[in-house]
Structure 1
């Protein structure tokens, strides 16, 4: 009668540390966090602020808390909307129209 050969599990080259999986999760979380930061920089057009000489960014256009950020050279100026910003005396000099493709056309009167 032939005896069955027993197979043994060789764990010599295998990492048996139960926390090694957590290190891999940390690596994945770090890659995800960096990807989110890059996406935010691209979404808020911050690359323009770093590379261009003159940049104008309008935050919340047309709303009460509208904000305009202007960069000229190394100087950055921030303008915030206020209650009295649209008040005063003046005369109408024309009309602006926004086209379907997003362009704005000014037509003087």
Structure 2
């Protein structure tokens, strides 16, 4: 019996330092904290925190790789995405008037 409990009697503690996965778990925790910090930084830089506000309305226009425009609009809780191509942009209509920008920066609309 005395030989079986030799490690505990000698004062050696089994701390589990031989486990290689303890360092990996710490790296995983560190990467999660880094990713969350990066997401918060990107949202605050581009002022996209309004996406989480239910009362805000916003519209984002971005250009895709195929030179089409994509319009993403948010009204309340609804988010709607539309892609505008050159074929959709063409169409018939009638001219309603002319808009002029004055020297002080104001806009004036003159109907035809």
Q: Are residues 1:25 and 2:30 paired?
A: no
- Structure 1 46/94 Cα, relative in aligned 2: closer, same or farther at 3 Å? same
- Structure 1 76/27 Cα, relative in aligned 2: closer, same or farther at 3 Å? closer
TM-score, with structure 1 as normaliser: 0.55
- Tell me, which stretches of 5 or more residues in structure 2 are unaligned? 1-10
- Structure 1 93/13 Cα, relative in aligned 2: closer, same or farther at 3 Å? farther
RMSD: 3.5
Residues in 1 aligned to 2:79 and 2:100: alpha-carbon distance in whole angstroms: 30
* Runs of 4+ in structure 1 over 6 Å off: none
The equivalent residue for 1:49 is: 51
SS in 1 for 2:17: coil
Shift of residue 14, structure 1, vs aligned partner = 5.1
- Tell me, which stretches of 5 or more residues in structure 1 are unaligned? 1-9, 97-104
SS in 2 for 1:68: strand
The equivalent residue for 1:84 is: 87
Q: Are residues 1:71 and 2:54 paired?
A: no
Residues in 2 aligned to 1:11 and 1:93: alpha-carbon distance in whole angstroms: 90
Count how many residue pairs are aligned between Structure 1 and Structure 2: 91
Equivalent pair of 2:68/2:86 in contact (CA under 8 Å) = no
TM-score, with structure 2 as normaliser: 0.54
Equivalent pair of 1:94/1:106 in contact (CA under 8 Å) = no
Q: Deviations over 1:9-62 (max 9, x none)?
A: x8637542242222222221221222233334445554212214321111239x
SS in 2 for 1:17: coil
